[in-house]
Amino acid sequence: MLEAEILPQAFSTIISWYRKNRRALPWRTNRSPYGIWLSEIMLQQTRVETVKPYYERFLRELPTIEALAAVPDDRLMKLWEGLGYYSRARNLKKAAICLCKDFGSKLPAEYDRLRSLPGIGPYTAGAIASIAFGLPEPAVDGNVLRITTRLLADASDITLDKTKKKFTELLREAYPSGEAAADLTQGLMELGQTHCLPNGAPLCKSCPLRGLCLAHQRDETDCYPVRSPKKDRKVEEKTVFLLHCGEKYALCRRPNRGLLAGLWELPNTAGHFTAGQARQYLEEIGIAVQDLAPCGDAIHIFTHVQWQMTGYSASVQEPHSAFFWKTKEQIHSDCALPSAFRFYSRQIK
């Protein structure tokens, strides 16, 4: 069966299946373009169940594009704390400022104009265009590539940009408009999350596309999608310090560029230190240590880097001017600490 025949049938099947089986999710109740945009940004590389409370809390505090454009950066980061990939939040605010300045505080109902906004790539533009405005624009991500390569038994390497472009054009030729476009985009997302799974065997017996899927018919679902091997993550060793003076704890700001740019962090340095080395390091930078003790090891995995951390808790005689000193209450209410430091920040009492 040719692609031109399979895709329209598959699209019709997915739309019907989705309308009967869609999950109740908060961003499907709030169909405003702003709410859809926010949900799509939050859902990037983040599980649905994780996003739900963040989405609802974010919209309660910042219910409009104007409110998002005006929010102080520290408050924005606090609302995002724990979601990771903090550049997403910074780009949300940048885009909101652009929308207030150039688009009348509204998301434009046009794919190319959506693409012009900070943080909105081809996938997100397609998702907003189809879900919020009913435009015949596909939103091609890992879910869609997995479904379509299995559906068509296509061995193209999905890690390559040319593969994503190929499938975007292929889907666009057959994509519907109006409510069907919205339901198809969400249906593809739903199918990829519930049946055509990213990890483990797909649930073909209950998949609505099993009668059309060439990989299923050929018993080759484990052959797709095809991916080139991932590069090994770079491993970085760090020593983290939980420094406290009375009821206040030391924090630093990360550089304005690079990983976790501009966020708060616990003091740290490269390498794994013994207790003696940790005490010597602190004294060399001018910190008078009273008591120092190990506070555990932790690992945090980023996309391309893995931090292997060892930590020390230390009481100090006086607050050093190289750091910001905050109470537990200030840290928990005002300072967004990345989840990379969560193992240690949970020890702040």
Residues identified as active-site: 40
Supply the DSSP string of 117-129, one letter for each residue: STT--HHHHHHHH
Residue 265 · residue 254 · CB < 8 Å: yes
Per DSSP, the three-state class of 77 is: helix
Whole-angstrom distance, CA of residue 156 vs CA of residue 146: 11
Name the strand (E) or helix (H) holding 25: none
How far is it, in rounded angstroms, from Cα 56 to Cα 25?
11
| CB within 8 Å of 189: residues ≥ 6 apart | 139, 143, 144
Three-class DSSP labels, 131-192 = HHHCCCCCCCCHHHHHHHHHHHCCCCECCCHHHHHHHHHHHHHHCCCCHHHHHHHHHHHHHH
Q: Report d(CA 87, CA 208) in Å as an integer.
A: 37
Contact predicate 310/294, CB 8 Å:
yes
- Of 225, 191, 227, the C-alpha closest to 210 is 191
320: left (phi over 0), alpha (psi -120 to 50) or beta: beta
Map tokens 């483990």 to a residue: 200
Report the C-alpha gap between 345 and 338 in whole angstroms. 9
312: which strand partners? 241, 294
Question: Which DSSP string do the residues of 334-345 spell out, in sequence order?
Answer: H----GGGHHHH
Residue that is written with structure tokens 């930590």 in the block:
311
